[in-house]
């Protein structure tokens, strides 16, 4: 068997990697933190992103998010339902989400009241 300089270098490199415990393996998985998502489900009102003042329909979570629920006439917010792993606080019609792990579903629980007295 004839050994040329390229083969010698390649064999030396393989020996070095194996003997030191370093292995090069194709990695298809990422070590990056998985992206959290926020979904919203509601009716009889609108959810607004406090920072932008625009309607919020859900999406990837990237930073602290404050949502405001504005109910239609004749409805009022009872509480915020948060399904999933999230760090959040609620204060009346505002919900502030500080972190999300995985998928989180936000649903404002509302109730109807009579407007006939107005």
Q: Cα separation of 49 and 59, whole Å?
A: 12
CB-count burial class (<10 Å; 0-12, 13-18, 19+) for 58: middle
Residue 50, strand partner residues = none
Q: Cα separation of 96 and 65, whole Å?
A: 6
Structure tokens at 82: 């948060």
Residue in the structure block whose two tokens are 């490199």: 13
**Span 52-72, pLDDT tens digits:** 999 999 999 999 999 999 999
SS3 5: helix
Higher-scoring residue by pLDDT: 61, 21: 61
| Ranges of each domain in the chain | 36-112
Q: Check if the beta carbon of residue 84 is closer than 8 Å to that of residue 105.
A: yes
Query: Using 50, 70 and 90 to split pLDDT, how confident is the model at 113?
Result: confident
Q: Is the dihedral of CA 36, 42, 46, 50 positive or negative?
A: negative
Q: Check if the beta carbon of residue 44 is closer than 8 Å to that of residue 110.
A: yes
Query: Using 50, 70 and 90 to split pLDDT, how confident is the model at 26?
Result: very low
Q: Give yes or no for residue 27 having a pLDDT over 50.
A: no
Q: Cα separation of 8 and 3, whole Å?
A: 7
């Amino acid at each position: 068997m004839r050994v040329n300089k390229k083969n010698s270098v390649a064999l030396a490199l393989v020996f070095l990697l194996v003997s030191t415990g370093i292995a090069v393996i194709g990695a298809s998985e990422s070590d990056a933190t998985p992206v959290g998502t926020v979904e919203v489900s509601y009716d009889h009102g609108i959810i607004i992103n406090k920072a932008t003042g625009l309607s919020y329909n859900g999406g990837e979570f990237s930073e602290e998010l404050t949502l405001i629920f504005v109910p239609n006439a004749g409805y009022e917010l009872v509480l915020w339902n948060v399904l999933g792993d999230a760090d959040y606080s609620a204060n009346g019609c505002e919900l502030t989400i500080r972190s999300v792990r995985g998928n989180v579903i936000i649903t404002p629980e509302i109730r109807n009241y009579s407007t006939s007295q107005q």
